[in-house]
Structure 1
Amino acid sequence: MLSEGMIRMYSDNPTRGLTDGVEISESTQEFPLSVIVNTKEANHTIVKVALRCDSGFRTTGNTEISISGLNAGKWTVADDDHYLSEENADQLATFTSGLTISDSIGDTNHIVWFKVSTDGEEPAQVDTTVKIHVYGNTVPS
């Protein structure tokens, strides 16, 4: 049974300020996210995801996103600044190895962007070691 008030993660092109998207989070707050990157050449893939609290809850204080796992160094994250597309986020966002969100996250989508990179010299693989961790305190709205 999932705990009430949790911060959850959503994919499938979620919209800032709405409640759309497909939930990809688990009650452990380790969020599996499937990303396909062409490993035959150096490149990257940008993925848009949303964070939101259960209905009637919001975060208080900072919310931290960290990435761990064997290939965590290939992953970076950026907060949204009203980017219009993956290409726009790729060009304008500042991607880092972790993220601190000081804004309160409520029960509507707060967008973040992930960048997954490859150096072009690795074999194709299914990597299930990378975990995205979201830490924050939630309170009733």
Structure 2
Amino acid sequence: MAMAFMMATKGMCVTEECKKSFMEMKWKKVHRYIVYKIDEKSKLVTVDKVGSSGESYDDLAASLPEDDCRYAVFDFDFVTVDNCRKSKIFFIAWAPTASRIRAKILYATSKDGLRRALDGISYEVQATDAAEMGFDVITDRAK
């Protein structure tokens, strides 16, 4: 089994792959987003999907399941009012209304451990539907 890091709650572990892909996104800009999922049997947080640097926020939103929880990180590039290029990393806790209660509880109690393992997150968004994590929400937060 790959090296894993224990989370503070519920005995969940974050795989080395989770941290490695996050660092590649943060420093090398090879990923636009990463979607993480919890494997309830192995008690591991794993990488579910990685979006290439050419993908968009809409691609991330479309990759989230309508009936199950996920975590995601998104590298948001923007230009400030004084014409400076900036980048902020968003952490998204996705818990759609149609997901199982057990999954919602598991993801809610494991979130802080994953956030601590991923150093460099600027903002957090919690969403139960697409409107709560719309691109306008991301844009407003980054200003």
Could you say whether these structures have the same fold, taking a TM-score greater than 0.5 normalized by the shorter chain as the test? Answer: no
Structure number having the greater helix percentage: 2
Structure (1/2) with the larger strand percentage:
1
* Larger relative contact order (Cα-Cα within 8 Å, sequence gap ≥ 6): 1
TM-score scaled to structure 1, two decimals? 0.31
